[in-house]
Structure 1
């Protein structure tokens, strides 16, 4: 069955103008800055025009922690390698040699644990080492006429990323540096442990010395230096307008709310619709995590379903994230199936992403979406948006992420999918 849900040109223009309006009024909105908070308040006011009620929810977090781990890990790894390389000049005593190799392994292990917890798990492992501040989630609610028996959430995020310098400078070379840097760290971890093991069992703990020395100078030093400049400190990093990532999604949920105000019959019976613009997604999904923590009992009681969107700009290239490889988070088969059905009944192209080897490989370093905060908590959730591996390096987390990147038809198609989702939920 195919149904034609017509989105008028005026609605497409509204969504496009909303994105431009936010950028013109507030500029870049890195997590925790004043412009991010002001944008949340503005979005709440916009939600109030089309929803039963709208409000903001304040939360605390540590904005520099999510990417702040990078320099800590670089420092620990560099000291670990240098300590090992200086061993012949420090001591010739076998016991002291083993103690220093042990210290090198421990530093390396600490670096690995920090990286794994902060990035590959999105845990708040070292967050308290960084300054705390406040941010806001903006929430709009469309209440049903009778009793609320279930909840459907449509969401995006209004903060923008800090500039990723390596992407700005190197484009496709960014991925090469990241994987070489990670490769060096994992290889050094393995070799340091092997060196310690050899020493413990009476063999030469310096067996890999020359190999490690050249590995460090040829691969380690260039990668560590580049990674040290991953982002600028302070406000210097706040250069990204964040049109695609992710005002596009906020515009779509507002476009949906406008549509539902004129077509309330599209809302399933006894179903509350909630549109949420999260803060601080670019700081490790902190806004979404706080929302889940504060509302978990309610989300489970109402059997909530969450459709999150991230980066909507190409009408012919909308993808459902089946799994987020960075954090190894699998999304709800139920929500994924309903999104595919929604695409079918609205004749809107949408496909699954994260199935083939290249997509899984790239997904390893691409980070997470706010949907992961819900899926990790056992709430049915999924994410969809545009993923174009050839085009994304031109603007992603760079000053080029502006309104010119967005095709209005992509916003229309995303709204159609959300309307279709409501229909298959009836």
Structure 2
């Protein structure tokens, strides 16, 4: 479905003869604190009604319908688009690893380490493309059968469109990680040790291949040394340990309040606010607002990839502010790099947002998303040539604050309302500056220093 960008705009009502000017609505001014309360109430209501919302599930589709209905009173146009994807795609590499591991062991014992090395390298390429770079390979046995639903809504300005601000979020919730609730020792035994065994098996294939290559017996029948053969047998005997990775992902989903339904609620409340301003005869002059909620973010940003691929060319002078994982007011961060630090976002937009936040009295930083922390939908906007960044307020490590995202504890009570209020305030101020064509006035100069990644210590995989 294409963006309905060119429908007629709503005109201001005609003045009554007794009126000299339009009346403003006699209602309580919409403050960010009130909007934050409405966003949290919206989040709690949908979780109570629909629970977890795994990508492509019926619950996710039902929530998408509710989101569209929530946008409708405040926007000129609301649209939905269907996206098909394979919901197993993100968990398939771990399932395949369970079979690749013993195959490498058998090839080592048969004196064919180079074949084991080729399989290992191909698997790393495939797993890295899917889980680390979010550029999935097109495999013939992967069928896109599950149906997801993206939602978008448009609020038009008073006059000709010169700018577009796109607020994005996602409504699907993450699958729970089976072993993340275990104590540190049990987690090491169930996850870290099997991963180490798999990597060790690949290293042994490499060492044995190089050894045979230097001895010029790579393609000839030969025997490994006794020590190497014992190591190979030990690795092969450890196959049951590696099989535990197959159940790393649970079939249950997280409630996903902070990651990321509250962000959807924030986009609804931003639509409410600017619709209220319009009804009070202070509409935006030249800035079109687009509000989006995507499905499939938790399985590799698949919903936003489809949406931006289709709609990015139709956006006029766009900037994209994505909301994701807003929990703590003292962790307000704007991302300059995404997808495990591999995708550049708009540094100047992120740093301008930091400047805006600090001018409002908030502590804020801009930085890269940490390695092994996954990615956000802003990456797909950036890959489609749009100026984008993500606003987040989360503790990336597992020590300084509770990391509840991707857990059963990701409920509304885990979100600090002040963080939501801050995010909404920044979003409102951003739009005001864009519409006044003053976004880049007094913007901080771009630093030429190389970005420093956060020095974080992860005790468990926190893959987004």
Structure 2 residues not aligned, in runs of 5+: 1-28, 219-223, 438-464
1:366 and 2:373 aligned:
yes
Query: Residues of 2 paired with 1:333 and 1:31: CA distance?
Result: 30
Deviation at 1:325, TM superposition (A): 5.3
Contact 2:191 2:244 in 1 (8 A): no
Deviation at 1:114, TM superposition (A): 1.2
Write the deviation string for residues 54-98 of structure 1: whole angstroms up to 9, x where unpaired.
1211111111112222111332133213431x33xxxxxxxxx3x
Write the deviation string for residues 124-183 of structure 1: whole angstroms up to 9, x where unpaired.
315653442211111011111222222111111000011111223347976897666555
Query: Residues of 1 paired with 2:197 and 2:425: CA distance?
Result: 46
Question: CA separation of 1:424/1:209 partners in 2, compared to 1, >3 Å: closer, same or farther?
Answer: farther
Deviation at 1:287, TM superposition (A): 0.4
Tell me the SS of whatever aligns to 2:327.
coil
Question: CA separation of 1:215/1:126 partners in 2, compared to 1, >3 Å: closer, same or farther?
Answer: farther
Tell me the SS of whatever aligns to 2:321.
strand
Match of 1:91 in 2: none
Match of 2:451 in 1: none
Match of 2:81 in 1: 57
Question: CA separation of 1:104/1:313 partners in 2, compared to 1, >3 Å: closer, same or farther?
Answer: same
Query: Residues of 2 paired with 1:311 and 1:57: CA distance?
Result: 24
Query: Residues of 2 paired with 1:215 and 1:277: CA distance?
Result: 49
The two structures, once aligned, show a CA RMSD in angstroms of 2.8
Match of 1:324 in 2: 338
Query: Residues of 2 paired with 1:418 and 1:239: CA distance?
Result: 29
Contact 2:170 2:295 in 1 (8 A): yes
Question: CA separation of 1:223/1:257 partners in 2, compared to 1, >3 Å: closer, same or farther?
Answer: farther
| Equivalent of 1:47 in 68, 71, 78 | 71
Write the deviation string for residues 255-293 of structure 1: whole angstroms up to 9, x where unpaired.
211111222488754211111011110111000000111
Match of 1:282 in 2: 298
Deviation at 1:309, TM superposition (A): 1.1
Q: Summarize the alignment of residues 275-354 of structure 1 with structure 2, pairs less than 5 Å apart.
A: 275-299=291-315, 302-324=316-338, 326=340, 328-354=342-368
Question: CA separation of 1:204/1:212 partners in 2, compared to 1, >3 Å: closer, same or farther?
Answer: farther
Q: Which has the larger radius of gyration?
A: 2
1:241 and 2:255 aligned:
yes
Tell me the SS of whatever aligns to 1:424.
helix
Contact 1:164 1:230 in 2 (8 A): yes
Query: Residues of 1 paired with 2:188 and 2:289: CA distance?
Result: 39
Deviation at 1:39, TM superposition (A): 0.3
Question: CA separation of 1:149/1:211 partners in 2, compared to 1, >3 Å: closer, same or farther?
Answer: farther
Contact 1:323 1:331 in 2 (8 A): yes
Tell me the SS of whatever aligns to 1:169.
coil
Match of 1:194 in 2: 207
- My pick for the range that moved more, 129-138 or 205-214, is 205-214
Deviation at 1:204, TM superposition (A): 7.5
Question: CA separation of 1:8/1:305 partners in 2, compared to 1, >3 Å: closer, same or farther?
Answer: closer
- My pick for the range that moved more, 207-216 or 310-319, is 207-216
Query: Residues of 2 paired with 1:277 and 1:111: CA distance?
Result: 33
Aligned length: 396
Deviation at 1:199, TM superposition (A): 1.2
1:216 and 2:216 aligned:
no
Query: Residues of 1 paired with 2:215 and 2:97: CA distance?
Result: 31
Query: Residues of 1 paired with 2:171 and 2:388: CA distance?
Result: 19
Write the deviation string for residues 198-227 of structure 1: whole angstroms up to 9, x where unpaired.
213326773572584488379x75862442
Deviation at 1:371, TM superposition (A): 0.7
1:133 and 2:146 aligned:
yes
Match of 1:385 in 2: 392
Match of 1:404 in 2: 413
Contact 1:318 1:349 in 2 (8 A): yes
Match of 2:122 in 1: 110
Contact 2:126 2:136 in 1 (8 A): no
Query: Residues of 2 paired with 1:177 and 1:204: CA distance?
Result: 38
Structure 1 residues not aligned, in runs of 5+: 88-96, 355-359
Contact 2:116 2:202 in 1 (8 A): no
Deviation at 1:20, TM superposition (A): 0.6
Match of 1:168 in 2: 181
Deviation at 1:413, TM superposition (A): 0.9
Match of 1:230 in 2: 248
Match of 1:79 in 2: 103
Tell me the SS of whatever aligns to 2:326.
coil
Query: Residues of 1 paired with 2:85 and 2:68: CA distance?
Result: 21
Question: CA separation of 1:173/1:337 partners in 2, compared to 1, >3 Å: closer, same or farther?
Answer: farther
Contact 1:252 1:411 in 2 (8 A): yes
- Structure with the higher helix share, 1 or 2: 1
Match of 1:18 in 2: 42
Match of 2:54 in 1: 30
